[in-house]
Structures are given as structure tokens and as C-alpha cells.
Amino acid sequence: MPHDEPDRSDETPVLITVLHEDAWFLVVNKPVHLLTQAPEGIPSLQAQLLVQHAREGAPKPFIGIPHRLDRMTSGAVVIARNQRALRRLCDQFAARTIEKVYLAWVHGTPKPSDTFVDSMRKVENEPRAEIVDSSEEGSRTASLSYRVLGTRSGSSGQSESLVEVQLGTGRMHQIRLQFASRGYPILGDSLYGSEVSWGHRPEHFRESPMALHAATLSFAHPKTAERILVRAPVPAGYPWGMLAEEVSCGMGV
């Protein structure tokens, strides 16, 4: 965490929507502008879930975090409810057996479908990543596949495309960087080249909202190994649009 992160302990807590509840895990829909984890005193998904699931006279609930979404990315996050579930879910993420599908609105009109494979790495001492040659120190392979679900004209007449993205790997800012490096930055993602605002930005938002949403999550139940598939609805209303809402409810994902 940056040392200059302001204390936001006085912000109004955000109620977290639970999409699937089980004795071993939860799947929740993370709102925009909420860190997955954070130091005490800074609002986070983990901290809010501890509050929501606390029961008077009961032990502190176990809220284990096996993976994260970027602060400004919304969508499905699986939460472990005991240590064994956390270990088994972490093992699935490490083995890449958990399937994640994202929705994003990007600038321009990419090919109808494609696979991106790059070498990328985190930029030292900066909160961003970069595309590099595979021979560079710290480089790691990043792969994803996508398909275009629809296009529209933006507020200034520019073309915008809704893409469904299937991750092959899970690198820092992977979707954001791989699309931006090809001239299709995610709307609202000023870090990687977008010059279009994505909806209203409240004063307390540290970053601008962007059009990236973790739409589905599929994994093996940490006890029974049954395959679990959970869909997370996109944030309500514009600027996601009806097409994205329909897709996130199962018409294409």
C-alpha cells in the first residue's frame, strides 16, 4: 500500500452483495472503488465482510482472501470461510483451474475474436505493469482470449466495443495492459491511455471508475469438488448499458 493512502475510516460503509453462500465459502460482488484487502482503518472488501458477518457473542468470522480484484474493478470474488477452504482455493488459483470471465468496454473495434500472448512485468516502485521482451528480467507470460459481444458509438461519436475476456493467466493489470498496448484501452482507465470518463467520479474516489467487471467465476467446491459457477451482475444503469446487463445475466457468458 502507498504510504500516502488517506484515512477513509469515516466513509459510509458499502453493503456487499452476496451472490452465493455456503458453509465453506462466499462469492460476493465487489463494488467499484473498494480495495479487496487493506490495512486497518482503510475501507476494504474484507473489512466490510467482517462487519456484515459478525454475530453478537460469536467468535470473529473467518474471511479468507484467495485472490484480489483491482480497486476500480467490480465483480465476483470468492471468499473462504475457514482455513482449509482458503488453502484449497489458493491451490486452485495456483494450478489455474479456476475460470474467470470478464466484461470490458474498450475504445475502438478489435477483431471479432483473438488471443493475446505477451511478456509483461510490474514496473519497479510504480503501481503499473509494462510489456517487455521475454528475455527481460522479471518478465512473465500473460495470455487471454476474447470475443466482441457488441459495439456502439460513444458520447463523442467514437466506437466502443463490449468484449468478453477469458483469462489464461492472472498477471497484474493484465487485461488493462494487453488491450491498451494494442490501441484498445478500457474506457475510463487513464493509467493505460483512456481519455474518456467512465461515469460519475465522487470526490472521495482515489481513481476514476473504469469499465472492467469480473462477470463469472467457476471453481471446484473446496470440500465436495462440485463445480461451482457464479455470475455477478454488472453495476446498475449507464454507462454499462442493457447489452452488458443481459450478457452478465447469462446471455453470452
Residue 34 host element (H or E): none
For position 240, what pLDDT does the model report? 75
Q: Please identify every stretch of the chain with a pLDDT value under 50, giving residue numbers as ranges.
A: 1-10, 251-253
For position 250, what pLDDT does the model report? 54
Residues forming a β-bridge with 113: 147
Handedness of CA 129, 131, 134, 136 (dihedral sign): negative
Find out whether 22 and 56 touch, Cβ atoms under 8 Å.
no
Angstrom distance (rounded) from CA 226 to CA 94: 18
Domain assignment present for residue 7? The answer is: no
Domain assignment present for residue 3? The answer is: no
Angle at 119 between CA 116 and CA 124, to 5 degrees: 130
> What CATH number should be reported for the domain holding residue 37?
3.30.2350.10
Q: How many domains does the chain have?
A: 1
Domain assignment present for residue 2? The answer is: no
**DSSP secondary structure string for all residues of 119-159:** EEEEPTTSS-EEE--TTSTT-EEEEEEEEEEEEEE-TTS-E
For position 103, what pLDDT does the model report? 95
For position 245, what pLDDT does the model report? 64
**DSSP secondary structure string for all residues of 56-88:** TTSPPPP-B-S----TT-EEEEEEESSHHHHHH
Angstrom distance (rounded) from CA 211 to CA 193: 13
Angstrom distance (rounded) from CA 17 to CA 74: 12
Find out whether 86 and 100 touch, Cβ atoms under 8 Å.
no
For position 158, what pLDDT does the model report? 85
Q: Which residues are catalytic?
A: 70
For position 41, what pLDDT does the model report? 86
For position 197, what pLDDT does the model report? 73
Cell numbers that stand for 154 in this block: 460513444
Domain assignment present for residue 51? The answer is: yes
For position 5, what pLDDT does the model report? 45
For position 7, what pLDDT does the model report? 46
| 115: DSSP letter | E
Domain assignment present for residue 11? The answer is: no
Domain assignment present for residue 83? The answer is: yes
**Range(s) of the domain holding residue 48:** 17-248
Domain assignment present for residue 178? The answer is: yes
Helix (H, G, I), strand (E, B) or coil at 48: helix
Residues forming a β-bridge with 116: 144
Distances (CA, A) of 86 to 29, 110, 221, 223: 18, 38, 11, 11
Domain assignment present for residue 10? The answer is: no
224: CB partners within 8 A, 6+ apart: none
For position 155, what pLDDT does the model report? 74
Find out whether 209 and 188 touch, Cβ atoms under 8 Å.
yes
- Sort strands 227-231 and 159-167 into parallel, antiparallel or unpaired: unpaired
For position 248, what pLDDT does the model report? 60
Closest CA to 129 of 79, 53, 70: 70
